[in-house]
């Protein structure tokens, strides 16, 4: 981006929910000093944190330009850019409408129940003036449904009361689009974590929400993370933080930002006052806390410590990085670890989560074909565009990346007799690349710098580790690495249980194969993902009874399978095999040492 001149006037937007039932935002954008050759505007094609081209501009339904009360011609340059005709004098104003009906954390959503938007969906970028101040007037919709709405965002207020409608300001475009905004009648509570106010905002109907418990648990998680990155100063990198949460019947997702996160969760995952005395952490609540922990950890890891190719982002095209195993994988490693370090969950619950992650990595043969470096690089076309063949073709840089974090952690702790750990590597990354990122000196970190830093901090030569597990596809020797820490690793897969080695999904009352594992019984018998199973040895298969039917057979038996492929009935002979789903359990033995990853390393 261009260096700002001292007097660059602010870019001004207004945004209002114009027609809640039609899901339309109306946006105006005024540029005081448009480019002489004709101002160009562009909407991002993707949103940072979610690595897929989404073409947000397809939701702009009407757009026009004017200056001094006169229409100005707009030419479409490409799928997400427009150029206005040159304006001799005065400001240039765009008026446009954005259709907002994507109930996710990645885009925008508007109806009578609430409004949510990311700047990437609604704010056109003024090319060449990205470094100017960007001011947004967030206006209350005229619809009576919005009469009592409030505003939740980490965007700094300019002329607005906290939670009120009015003007908000960002120092530049990059900051403007990094503060999602929620409007509605949400539940709200505030707690302080090491002196910094944190808002928890819950939109959507949640009867008997136990906000006090949520605040207490999030406070523990946030304080643990602040102290993780700044063990001495215990200083958070932002002035305030907002958890924007939308509770729905069934949903899960989160997206990180520099001073907030947007989350979607299932209503049932949130704690209820009806069970306020019961301090057990349900699986759903643990998942929600894990999600909060994950997005919060990104405040440091990816929002400030960044791959060099994200500094700055190019919002019009794919930004390829081979490092998502570090930015997403290590964040996934620490999200659950922080839950146990902060005391929110107990050690056995943590080991159960870890066992599940290991099993999911070992499940698919894709792990033998794609490295996490390649998985990171190809996130745009592969991880984010998974199809039925994904288990056979790709590996997740989240799950395997988190196990790489564990393997590094155990390796460094073992070699340094517990003096150093992965924590020290994260701290060095923070120190050199993260802390001052928004002070205008941030340039991100390159893959070569990451590798050199691992060697330097650990005092080891880790090149072969990178070759085998990051650029290569070898399985991590976790059983061997865990043993010195008194953690026993066992695989209790039910190899005597007869199986097709395929994933099945429900399709109404039908049993539809959602994935067929390469080399497994279904594959060898000729079945394909998408086939609808009709009968096994003449007995009808429905959405839920396949395991039951197969339980009357032994591994090695052959069965006749009738299945529909499209609308054609086909017959297959399938030789049943033992279940190949890994069942990883981790257990502490009595002689465990105190240097395990559950605690910070001795040097800290
Ligand atoms: Zn993440």
The string of DSSP letters for 186-230 reads -EEEEEEETTEEEEEEEES--TTB-HHHHHHHHHHHHHHHHHHH-
Task: Note the pTM of the prediction, 2 decimals.
Answer: 0.96
Distance 378 CA to ligand 1 centre (A): 16
For ligand 1, the distance from its centroid to the CA atom of residue 91, given in whole angstroms, is 40
Q: What distance in Å separates the CA atoms of residue 259 and residue 400, rounded to the nearest whole number?
A: 27
Q: Would you state the pLDDT for residue 441?
A: 72
Q: Are strands 24-31 and 11-19 parallel, antiparallel or unpaired?
A: antiparallel
The CA 566 to ligand 1 mean position distance, Å, reads 37
Pick the CATH number of 186-280 from 3.30.110, 3.30.160, 3.30.70, 3.30.2010: 3.30.2010
Reduced to 3 states (helix: H, G, I; strand: E, B; else coil), residue 249 is coil
- Compute the distance from residue 436 Cα to the ligand 1 centre, in Å: 21
Q: How far is the CA of 261 from the centre of ligand 1 (A)?
A: 11
What's the 38 CA to ligand 1 centre distance in angstroms?
Answer: 39
pLDDT (tens digit, 9 = 90+) per residue, 134-154? 999 999 999 999 999 999 999
pLDDT for residue 276: 80
How far, in Å, from the CA of 331 to the mean position of ligand 1?
6
DSSP structural state of residue 520: S
Q: Are strands 241-248 and 196-203 parallel, antiparallel or unpaired?
A: parallel
- The pLDDT tens digits for 270-326 are 999 988 888 889 999 999 999 999 999 999 999 999 999 999 999 999 999 999 999
Q: Please report the pLDDT score of residue 277 as a whole number.
A: 82
Residues of the chain with CATH 2.60.40.3650: 11-183
> In this predicted structure, what is the pLDDT of residue 589?
78
Ligand 1 midpoint to CA 336 (Å): 13
Token readout for 243 is 């958890």
pLDDT confidence of residue 591: 64
* CATH of segment(s) 498-578: 2.30.42.10
CA of 190 relative to ligand 1 center, distance in Å? 24
Provide CATH 3.30.2010 ranges for the chain: 186-280
In the chain, % of residues over pLDDT 90: 91
Q: Stretch 451-466: mean pLDDT, rounded?
A: 96
d(C-alpha 258, C-alpha 178), whole Å? 7
pLDDT attached to residue 594: 53
Distance of CA 544 to the CA centre of its chain: 31
CATH 1.10.390.10 in the chain, residue ranges: 300-491+583-604
Calculate how far, in angstroms, residue 294's C-alpha sits from the geometric centre of ligand 1.
6
- pLDDT of 10 above 50: yes
Contacts for 283 with CB less than 8 Å, ≥ 6 apart: none
| Cα of 324 from ligand 1 centre, angstroms | 9
CA-to-CA distance for 128 and 365, rounded, in angstroms? Answer: 47
Ligand 1 centroid–CA 291 distance in Å is 9
Q: Is 247 helix (H, G, I), strand (E, B) or coil?
A: strand
Cα–Cα distance measured from residue 316 to residue 336, given in angstroms and rounded to the nearest whole number: 34
CA of 374 to the centre of ligand 1 (A): 17
Task: Say whether pLDDT at 5 is over 60.
Answer: no
CA of 255 to the centre of ligand 1 (A): 7
- The chain-wide mean pLDDT, for the chain, equals 95
Select the CATH number that applies to the domain covering 11-183 from these four: 2.60.40.3650, 3.40.50.620, 3.50.50.60, 3.30.70.141. 2.60.40.3650
Between the CA of 365 and the centroid of ligand 1 the distance, in Å, is: 24
By C-alpha distance, which of 233, 257, 232, 231 is closest to 243? 257
d(CA 302, CA 312): 12
151 φ/ψ angles, rounded to the nearest 5 degrees: -115, 130
Q: Where in the chain is the domain with CATH 2.30.42.10?
A: 498-578
Confidence of residue 495 (pLDDT cuts 50, 70, 90): confident
Q: Please tell me the distance between residue 306's alpha carbon and the centre of ligand 1 in angstroms.
A: 13
How many angstroms is it from 282 CA to the middle of ligand 1? 22
If you measure from the C-alpha of residue 144 to the centroid of ligand 1, how many angstroms do you get, rounded to a whole number? 37
Q: How far is CA 150 from the centre of its chain?
A: 26
Distance between Cα 252 and ligand 1 center (Å): 13
Band the pLDDT of 1: cuts 50, 70, 90. Answer: very low
How large is the average pLDDT for residues 588-604?
Answer: 64
Ligand 1 midpoint to CA 121 (Å): 20
CA of 50 relative to ligand 1 center, distance in Å: 9
Distance 298 CA to ligand 1 centre (A): 7
pLDDT at 2 over 50: no
Going from the Cα of 380 to the center of ligand 1, the distance in angstroms, rounded, reads 15
Mean pLDDT of 87-95: 96
Crossing angle of helices 447-458/399-415, nearest 10°? Answer: 30
- The answer to whether the CB of 85 falls within 8 A of the CB of 77 is no
Average pLDDT over residues 109-119: 98
Q: Give the span between the Cα atoms of 563 and 542, in whole angstroms.
A: 12
Q: What is the pLDDT of residue 156?
A: 98
- Could you tell me the distance, in angstroms and rounded to a whole number, from the CA of residue 322 to the centre of ligand 1? 15
**Cα dihedral 154, 159, 164, 169 in deg (nearest 10):** -30
Q: How far is the CA of 297 from the centre of ligand 1 (A)?
A: 9
Say whether pLDDT at 52 is over 60.
Answer: yes
Cα 129 to ligand 1 centroid, rounded to whole Å: 30
Q: How far is the CA of 563 from the centre of ligand 1 (A)?
A: 39
Q: Is the per-residue pLDDT at 434 higher than 90?
A: yes
Burial of 279 (0-12, 13-18, 19+ CB in 10 A): exposed
> pLDDT tens, 365-416?
999 999 999 999 999 999 999 999 999 999 999 999 999 999 999 999 999 9
Domain 300-491+583-604, CATH = 1.10.390.10
Flag whether pLDDT at 265 surpasses 90: yes
pLDDT band at 593 (very low <50, low <70, confident <90, very high): low
How far is the centre of ligand 1, averaged over its atoms, from the C-alpha of 41 (Å)? 29
Residue 99 makes CB contacts below 8 A (sequence gap 6+) with 23, 24, 59, 60, 61
Could you read off the pLDDT of 314-359 as tens digits, one per residue? 999 999 999 999 999 999 999 999 999 999 999 999 999 999 999 9
CA of 408 to the centre of ligand 1 (A): 19
Record the tokens describing residue 408, joined without a space. 């590094």
Q: 303 vs 8, which has greater pLDDT?
A: 303
CA 21 – ligand 1 centroid, Å: 33
436 conformational bin, left if phi > 0, alpha if psi -120 to 50, beta if neither: alpha
Query: 93 alpha carbon to ligand 1 midpoint, in Å?
Result: 37
């Amino acid at each position: 981006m261009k260096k700002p001149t001292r007097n660059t006037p602010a870019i001004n937007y207004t945004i209002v929910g114009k027609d809640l039932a039609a899901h339309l935002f109306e946006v105006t954008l005024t540029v005081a000093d448009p480019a002489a050759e004709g101002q160009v505007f562009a909407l991002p094609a993707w949103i940072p944190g979610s690595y897929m081209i989404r073409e947000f501009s397809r939701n702009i339904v009407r757009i026009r330009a004017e200056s001094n009360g006169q229409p100005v011609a707009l030419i479409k340059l490409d799928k997400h850019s427009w150029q206005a005709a040159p304006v001799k004098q005065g400001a240039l104003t765009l008026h446009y409408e954005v259709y907002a009906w994507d109930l996710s954390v990645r885009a925008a959503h508007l109806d009578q129940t609430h409004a949510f938007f990311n700047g990437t969906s609604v704010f056109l970028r003024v090319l060449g003036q990205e470094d100017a101040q960007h001011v947004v007037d967030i206006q209350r919709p005229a619809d009576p449904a919005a009469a009592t709405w409030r505003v939740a965002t980490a965007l700094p207020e300019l002329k607005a009361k906290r939670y009120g409608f009015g003007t908000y300001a960002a120092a530049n475009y990059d900051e403007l689009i990094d503060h999602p905004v929620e409007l509605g009648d949400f539940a709200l509570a505030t707690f302080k974590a090491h002196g910094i106010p944190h808002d928890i905002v819950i939109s959507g109907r949640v009867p008997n929400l136990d906000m006090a418990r949520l605040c207490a648990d999030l406070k523990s998680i946030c304080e643990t993370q602040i102290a993780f990155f700044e063990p001495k100063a215990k200083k958070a990198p932002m002035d305030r933080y907002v958890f924007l949460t939308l509770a729905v019947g069934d949903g899960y997702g989160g997206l990180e930002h520099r001073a907030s996160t947007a989350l979607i969760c299932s209503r049932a995952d949130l704690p209820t006052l009806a069970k306020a005395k019961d301090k057990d952490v349900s699986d759903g609540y643990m998942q929600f806390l894990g999600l909060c922990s994950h997005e919060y950890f990104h405040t440091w890891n990816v929002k400030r410590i960044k791959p060099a190719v994200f500094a700055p982002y190019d919002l019009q095209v794919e930004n390829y990085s081979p490092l998502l195993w570090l930015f997403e994988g290590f964040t996934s490693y620490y999200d659950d670890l922080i839950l146990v370090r902060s005391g929110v969950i107990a050690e056995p619950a943590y080991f159960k989560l870890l066992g599940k992650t290991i099993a999911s990595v070992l499940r698919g043969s894709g792990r033998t074909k794609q490295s996490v470096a390649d998985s990171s690089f190809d996130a745009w076309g592969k991880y984010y565009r998974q199809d039925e063949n994904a288990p056979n073709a790709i590996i997740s840089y989240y799950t395997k990346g988190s196990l790489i974090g564990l393997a590094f952690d155990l390796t460094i702790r073992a070699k340094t007799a517990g003096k150093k750990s992965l924590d020290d590597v994260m701290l060095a990354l923070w120190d050199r690349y993260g802390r001052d990122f928004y002070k205008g000196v941030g340039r991100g970190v390159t893959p070569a710098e990451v590798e050199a830093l691992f060697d330097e901090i650990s005092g080891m030569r880790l090149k072969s580790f990178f070759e085998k597990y990051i650029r290569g596809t070898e399985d991590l020797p976790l059983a061997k690495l865990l043993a010195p820490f008194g953690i026993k690793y066992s695989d209790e897969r039910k190899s005597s249980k007869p199986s097709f080695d395929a994933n099945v999904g429900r399709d109404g009352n039908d049993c539809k194969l959602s994935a067929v594992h390469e080399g497994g019984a279904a594959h060898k018998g000729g079945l394909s993902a998408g086939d609808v199973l009709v009968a096994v040895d003449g007995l009808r298969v429905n959405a839920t009874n396949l395991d039951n039917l197969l339980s009357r057979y032994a591994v090695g038996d052959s069965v006749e399978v009738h299945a529909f492929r499209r609308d054609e009935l086909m017959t297959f002979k399938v030789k049943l095999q033992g279940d190949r789903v890994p069942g990883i359990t981790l257990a502490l033995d009595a002689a465990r040492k105190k240097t395990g990853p559950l605690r910070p390393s001795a040097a800290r």
